[in-house]
Amino acid sequence: MFKSLEDIDKKLSEHLNYRNSCLNLIASENYASDKVRSYLSGDFSNRYGCYATLNPDDREYSGNKYINEFELETHDLVLSMFGGKYVDLRPISGHMAGMGVVLGILNPGDTVIEVALSDWGHGLVGPMRLINHFEKTINVEYMPFKNAEVDLDGLIAQCRKVKPRMVIFGGSGTIFFEPIKEFRAIAEELGIIVVYDASHVTGLIAGKVMPNPIENGADIMFGSTHKSFPGPQGGFIVSNVEEYIEKIGNALSPSLITSHHLNRLPSLAASILELKKYGNDYATQVVKNSKALAKELNNLGFDVIGDKDKGFTQTHLLLVDIGKYNVEGAPGILLEKAFILCSDDFSGDSVQIRVGTPEITRRGAKEEDMIKIAQFFKDVIIDKKDLEKVSIEVQKFAVKFNNIEYCF
Ligand code: DSN
C-alpha cells in the first residue's frame, strides 16, 4: 500500500525508466506529443458534460457555457477528419463505443457477423454473450478469412445464409484493407448495417494512407484515438445516418454513461490539428516501417503472415507465425525478458506475435532501423540467445528513440 506521495512518485518513475528502456512494438499503443499530453491535466478533468439527446446544446448540467462550445468545436474537428454527419464522443474507450453501437442498434434475436478472436478480432459481441441475457438475445457468427484477408465471397455466402442485421469489419490485427466498398451492394440488397471498428487503424485513416470506411460505404464507424492515432485514450463514433446515431446515443446515455467525462477533449482536439498537418507523413512512415520489418523478418526465416506480393502488410502492424520455433510459454513474456514489448496469440492452432510500428515511428525510427529490430527477434526466438545479454543490446538501441516527431 502506498504511504506517501514519494511512494507514488517513485513507482511512477520506475515505470517510466522501465518503459523508456524497452522497445515498444505494441500495435495498440502510441506516444502523444508533450502538448497533447499536457492538456490532460486541465480543468476539464474535474468537470462534467451532460446531454441526453442528439443535440449537445440540449444541456442537463450547469457550468457548461464554454464546455458546450468546446464540445461542438471538437465534434466539428472529428467530423472534418473522419467524415460523417454525426458524431458521439462520450464513450471513454473504443470498446465502449462499440458496445453503444451494438446495444443501441440491435433488436433481440438479431445476428451479428464480427471478426473472431482467432483472427485477431476485438472480441466485442462474442464476449458480450457471456452476460446471461445477451447469450439469449444476440447471435454471433464469425467472418471468414483467407491468408489474413477477409474472404469476400465467403462472407457474401455467409450473409445470404445467416441473414445478419449487422456486419462489423475491423479488429486488432488488420494487416490488409477490408472490402467495405465491395460489400456495400450486398449490404443494401440484404438490409445489413455495415459497421467499421477503426480502433486500430484510426491514425492510418486520419493520415490518408488507408481508405476511409465511412466514405466507402460503412454506415457507422467507431474506434479509439490512441492506437495508430497518437492522441489521448478515448472512444468515438461517427455516422451519416441520424437514426443510428440517435439510437446509439440512447444506449450510451443514460445506460453506459450519464454525465460524461471531458478531460481528454482538449487533447483530442490538439491531436487532430497535429494530424491534419503531419498525419500523412507520420502514417506513410508507419506503413513503410511495417513493410520493412516484415520483409527483414521474412529474410531471416520467419513465417510472416500475409501475401508477400503485397509486402505482408498495408497497416501499422504485422503478424508472424512462430509456431515452428517451439517457444516455451507465452512469446510476449519471453520477448519482454529481452525488453521487447509486443503482443501474442496462441489460443488457436498457431502461435503468433503481433508487432506494431506506431510508437517507434513516432519516436523517430525509419526503415533502416527495422533491420536491427528484426535481428533482435531472431536472437530471442530463433537463436535462443541469452535473454539478459540481448536485453542489454535492446536497451542501448531503444534509448536512441527518445524524440517525438510529426508534431508541432
Ligand atoms: N484490443 C487490445 C489490443 O489490440 O491490443 C487493446 O485494446
Q: How far is the CA of 162 from the centre of ligand 1 (A)?
A: 28
| Mutate which of 29, 172, 344, 345 for ligand 1 pocket (most atoms within 8 A of beta carbon) | 172
Q: How far is the CA of 363 from the centre of ligand 1 (A)?
A: 21
Q: How far apart (Å, rounded) are the C-alpha atoms in residues 102 and 158? A: 20
Number of Cα atoms under 13 Å in the Cβ half of residue 226 = 17
Residue 218's pLDDT band (cuts 50, 70, 90): very high
pLDDT of residue 1: 97
Q: How far is the CA of 358 from the centre of ligand 1 (A)?
A: 14
CA-closest residue to ligand 1 atom 4? 172
Kindly give the number of the ligand 1 atom that is closest to the alpha carbon of 95.
7
Q: Is the pLDDT of residue 30 over 90?
A: yes
What is residue 171's three-state secondary structure?
coil
Peptide bond into 266 cis (omega under 30): no
The three cell numbers of residue 237 are: 463514433
- Measure the CA dihedral 36/342/330/93, to 10°: 30
Lowest average pLDDT, out of 48-57, 312-321, 391-400, goes to 48-57
Q: How far is the CA of 257 from the centre of ligand 1 (A)?
A: 22
CA–chain centroid gap for 211, Å, is 16
Kindly give the number of the ligand 1 atom that is closest to the alpha carbon of 123.
1
DSSP string computed for 140-154: EEE--EETTEE-HHH
Q: How far is the CA of 75 from the centre of ligand 1 (A)?
A: 25
What are the residues whose beta carbons fall under 8 Å from the beta carbon of 347, sequence distance 6 or more? 117, 118
Q: Which residue has the cell 527483414?
A: 296
pLDDT of residue 167: 98
Q: How far is the CA of 6 from the centre of ligand 1 (A)?
A: 32
Q: Which helix (H) or strand (E) holds 112?
A: strand 111-114
Section 10-29 average pLDDT:
98
Cα–Cα distance list, 194 to 83, 153, 167, 178, 201 (Å) = 15, 16, 5, 12, 17
pLDDT of residue 343: 98
pLDDT of residue 288: 98
CA-closest residue to ligand 1 atom 7? 28
Domains 21-30+280-401 and 34-271 agree in fold: no
What is the tens place of the pLDDT at every residue in 117-173? Answer: 999 999 999 998 888 888 889 999 999 999 999 999 999 999 999 999 999 999 999
Cα–Cα distance list, 217 to 111, 181, 186, 239 (Å) = 20, 6, 11, 10
pLDDT of residue 133: 87
DSSP character at residue 192: P
Q: Is the pLDDT of residue 348 over 90?
A: no
Domain boundaries, the chain: 21-30+280-401, 34-271
Are 115 and 141 in contact by the 8 Å Cβ rule? The answer is no
Q: Is the pLDDT of residue 55 over 90?
A: no
Section 340-366 average pLDDT:
95
Q: How far is the CA of 179 from the centre of ligand 1 (A)?
A: 22
CA-closest residue to ligand 1 atom 5? 28
Are 68 and 59 in contact by the 8 Å Cβ rule? The answer is yes
Q: How far apart (Å, rounded) are the C-alpha atoms in residues 368 and 126? A: 40
For the chain, give the mean pLDDT. 96
| Mutate which of 24, 25, 122, 359 for ligand 1 pocket (most atoms within 8 A of beta carbon) | 122
Task: Give me the percent of the chain exceeding a pLDDT of 70.
Answer: 100
Are 206 and 231 in contact by the 8 Å Cβ rule? The answer is no
Are 252 and 92 in contact by the 8 Å Cβ rule? The answer is no
Residue 54's pLDDT band (cuts 50, 70, 90): confident
CATH level 3 topology of 34-271: Aspartate Aminotransferase; domain 2 (3.40.640)
pLDDT of residue 18: 97
One-letter amino acid for residue 157 of the chain: A
CATH superfamily of 21-30+280-401: Aspartate Aminotransferase, domain 1 (3.90.1150.10)
Task: Give me the percent of the chain exceeding a pLDDT of 90.
Answer: 93
Are 103 and 251 in contact by the 8 Å Cβ rule? The answer is yes
Section 194-223 average pLDDT:
98
Q: How far apart (Å, rounded) are the C-alpha atoms in residues 158 and 143? A: 8
Kindly give the number of the ligand 1 atom that is closest to the alpha carbon of 29.
5
CA-closest residue to ligand 1 atom 3? 28
Residue 261's pLDDT band (cuts 50, 70, 90): very high
What is residue 100's three-state secondary structure?
helix
CA-closest residue to ligand 1 atom 6? 28
Are 354 and 344 in contact by the 8 Å Cβ rule? The answer is yes
| Mutate which of 168, 199, 201, 316 for ligand 1 pocket (most atoms within 8 A of beta carbon) | 199
Are 319 and 175 in contact by the 8 Å Cβ rule? The answer is yes
Q: How far apart (Å, rounded) are the C-alpha atoms in residues 383 and 352? A: 18
Lowest average pLDDT, out of 44-48, 272-276, 325-329, goes to 325-329
Section 318-326 average pLDDT:
96
Are 338 and 381 in contact by the 8 Å Cβ rule? The answer is no
Q: How far is the CA of 227 from the centre of ligand 1 (A)?
A: 8
Q: Is the pLDDT of residue 273 over 90?
A: yes
pLDDT of residue 21: 97
Strand-pair partners of 61: none
Q: How far is the CA of 261 from the centre of ligand 1 (A)?
A: 22
Kindly give the number of the ligand 1 atom that is closest to the alpha carbon of 94.
7
Q: How far is the CA of 27 from the centre of ligand 1 (A)?
A: 8
Q: Is the pLDDT of residue 10 over 90?
A: yes
Around ligand 1, the residues with Cβ closer than 6 Å are 28, 122, 172, 343
pLDDT of residue 60: 82
Q: Provide the 10 A C-beta neighbour count for residue 330.
A: 13
pLDDT of residue 61: 86
| Mutate which of 29, 114, 227 for ligand 1 pocket (most atoms within 8 A of beta carbon) | 227
Q: How far is the CA of 163 from the centre of ligand 1 (A)?
A: 29
pLDDT of residue 52: 82
